[in-house]
Structure 1
């Protein structure tokens, strides 16, 4: 089965089931995830949001196989990550998962083209020229392929990082605050790129963000609070997302005010 066929045949590119992640013990115990079950649909762009400490980054890292769950399951397609040893987990991440981080993480001595193909080159995989050429068209940097990262703007560097994440035709790309180091214009370009790549290539993106403007580019926003999935918003707008985030503050203030009144 080809990567494209496998991708479309799977309802969820990634998912977690009854996910619990506990840090520390006893009085210092923190439940970063508290029984979360959620799937990330194939061919869709999903954003994860929530207050600081809500568990959104822990959810993404666990779903991507960068962190292990205390209990519950994390799956890429139909593969349960907990059943894999370190070698097979590393292989799965390399072949089926892409990553975009706040820091661009490009190799300064390599050209744009070499940075994009680096994961495949390190793995010794042959390059899919048709897919590669399509990616170059999507990111719009064909005239910069022989430049080095230091010769590019921040927005252009992040576009290279996006292309690198998609270069291996992964089942899912996880993006952790991908516009955090960019100005608003460059950030908008990168978010449009992520959205257009999802639509034009039928890939899947899961993005953690704190920015309502960024979340508005997604097909759906998931909201976490206190390690739990508390809401979801299809077809988001920046205004609706901002209103929902403000409601978290009101909801958090309510119990605190009640405790104060009882005291």
Structure 2
């Protein structure tokens, strides 16, 4: 009877609570958050500094564990998995893009893209990889090493690597944080194309209203709680919503 939610959401947390520390020093980073990230959609997570947005992403992706509540990838509850099965799930069903590109400097672009699958002994789909290389615009850079690429090109390699294994969902944590505005725009357009042209699912944490405007929907956190959702966001609307947090004295 749980398949309806599983097919609708690529990832979901329910009644998610995350507490760091104990006693007087305890910090409640997530305070009863329930939110789903629909399959085939691009969702941005926003909120003031300290609102819990990165904690939410890390718990939803199985990089951190909840204090209470549940986190699911598709129909699989992460809390029921031991370390080995959780590692396999992250490898086989989830992709990651971080602010730091995390490329291996001695490998070529082509080798960096397929590295996770090579390490796992998995032979990926050549047709999928070829299509992905074209989507990210790296066909003429496949034999270059990271040091020969711009920051924007390196992040495009990281994006291609995240999607190479055809994961159910890709989590991106401030993916444009180290890029200039033009390169950042290229990477955001690329994430959008992966969702719309290749039927992928992306969940992105960002503090930038311009970046959030590339998403299909923005979810807003404040003080560890889900406080709003916005469909078809624009940079101006997102900025206005963020200003409202400051006006109410939310942490900055």
What is the DSSP-based 3-state SS (H/G/I as helix, E as strand, rest coil) of the residue aligned with 2:248?
helix
The Cα shift of 1:127 comes to 2.2
Distance across 2 between alignment mates of 1:70 and 1:158 = 33
Q: 1:244 aligns with which of 238, 241, 245?
A: 241
Alpha carbon RMSD of aligned pairs, Å?
A: 1.0
Matched, 1:124 2:121: yes
The Cα shift of 1:80 comes to 0.2
Aligned to 2:43: 46
Matches within 5 A, 1:161-180: 161-180=158-177
The Cα shift of 1:25 comes to 1.2
The Cα shift of 1:26 comes to 1.4
* Runs of 4+ displaced beyond 3 Å: none
Structure 1 unaligned blocks of 5 or more: 1-5, 254-263
Aligned to 2:197: 200
Matched, 1:101 2:98: yes
Distance across 1 between alignment mates of 2:150 and 2:85 = 36
What is the DSSP-based 3-state SS (H/G/I as helix, E as strand, rest coil) of the residue aligned with 2:171?
strand
The Cα shift of 1:27 comes to 1.0
Aligned to 1:229: 226
The TM-score with structure 2 as length reference comes to 0.96
After superposition, give the CA deviation of every residue in 1:156-194 in whole Å (9 maximum; x if it has no partner).
Answer: 000000000000000000000000000000000000000
Distance across 1 between alignment mates of 2:124 and 2:75 = 26
Q: 1:34 aligns with which of 26, 31, 35?
A: 31
What is the DSSP-based 3-state SS (H/G/I as helix, E as strand, rest coil) of the residue aligned with 1:174?
strand
After superposition, give the CA deviation of every residue in 1:209-240 in whole Å (9 maximum; x if it has no partner).
Answer: 00000000000000000000000100000000
Matched, 1:145 2:142: yes
What is the DSSP-based 3-state SS (H/G/I as helix, E as strand, rest coil) of the residue aligned with 2:129?
helix
Q: 1:61 aligns with which of 37, 58, 63?
A: 58
Structure 2 unaligned blocks of 5 or more: none
Distance across 2 between alignment mates of 1:222 and 1:245 = 11
Matched, 1:73 2:70: yes
Distance across 1 between alignment mates of 2:112 and 2:7 = 29
The Cα shift of 1:116 comes to 0.1
State the structure with more CA Rg.
1
Distance across 2 between alignment mates of 1:240 and 1:161 = 30
The TM-score with structure 1 as length reference comes to 0.92
What is the DSSP-based 3-state SS (H/G/I as helix, E as strand, rest coil) of the residue aligned with 1:107?
coil
Distance across 2 between alignment mates of 1:103 and 1:23 = 25
Distance across 2 between alignment mates of 1:127 and 1:180 = 29
